[in-house]
Amino acid sequence: MPQLGPAHIRGSLCALVTPFKDGAVDTRAFSELIEWHMDEGTHGLVPCGTTGESPTLSVEEQETLIRLCVERAGGKIPIVAGTGTNSTAVSIERTQRAEALGADAAMLVAPYYNKPTQEGLYQHFKAVAQATDLPVILYNVPGRTVTDISVETLARLSEIPNIVGVKDATADLARVSRQRAACGADFIQLSGEDATALAFNGAGGTGCISVTANAAPRLCSALQKATLASDMATALAVQDKLIALHDALFLETSPAPVKYALSVLGKCAEDVRLPLVPPTEATRARVREALETAGLLAS
């Protein structure tokens, strides 16, 4: 099956949750989620990212999830496999395995806890990128990794042929323009922060790797289509429906709130793996209210 290239990595890409049942990966629920996303218009799928609780997944579980994504998607939408860890050697192994399984691209999170310098970040990503033929999307999420890929380092990394883009979860909208100037207009910039995804595209982004898309795939797809078509009126109307949900899904550590939302919608159990725990009753109430506001749940 031919792989989909970087030009297809745009629009609404869902940072897929990993459903669990009795402590194990629920492959049936995961497969049904993929089919649902295909039907609802999601433009791409990102399994085994941090929303998929990647630090708690075994190598075998990760491979199963990527394989299922590739098989179910059938080459219709790109699969961007989360393969980054805080070990360069392990990241290389997981990226090469994702390539063998047929993923269209790899997403590499900045190493967490280690706190590498900018040179360390550069050497880490360079080593992984040079060990694969897959297009690589870097993932900058300082709020979780305590490490920020600077604009200058990103510019250096963009010179490596198969490092094609970044998922930016800094929530700093000025960076979109700065990164565009430093890396070029063709360097893919994807928002990693749902609430600012509309504005992110206005500054030069071309999509979002979205948590909210787990629960509202059709709306997130519509938002991305509208922004990429410069239809701001439609985009704002969709954003008005979604903003309460964007906020509610991050009241506690993700993906606990969005997994609860999916359980309310009957898509999978809300189970998360320790050290994450289910959301509080107050957060549950906010999530249900936001689902109603978005028109996803009868009031």
User: C-alpha distances in angstroms, 283 versus 21, 79, 257, 280, 293?
Assistant: 22, 31, 7, 5, 15
Q: β-strands 105-109, 11-15: how paired?
A: unpaired
Residue 76 annotated as catalytic: no
| d(C-alpha 213, C-alpha 40), whole Å | 10
- Taking residue 65's Cβ as centre, other Cβ atoms within 10 Å add up to 25
Q: Quick one: CA dihedral 267, 273, 277, 283, positive or negative?
A: negative
State the greatest distance between any 2 C-alpha atoms of the chain, in Å, as a whole number. Answer: 52
Element of type H or E holding 39: helix 27-40
- Taking residue 227's Cβ as centre, other Cβ atoms within 10 Å add up to 26
Residue 167 annotated as catalytic: yes
Contacts of 160 (CB under 8 A, 6+ apart): 125, 126, 129, 130
What is the gyration radius of the CA atoms in the chain, in angstroms? 18
Of the residues 167, 241, 259, 267, which is catalytic? 167
Of the residues 76, 112, 139, 260, which is catalytic? 139
Q: Which residues are catalytic?
A: 139, 167
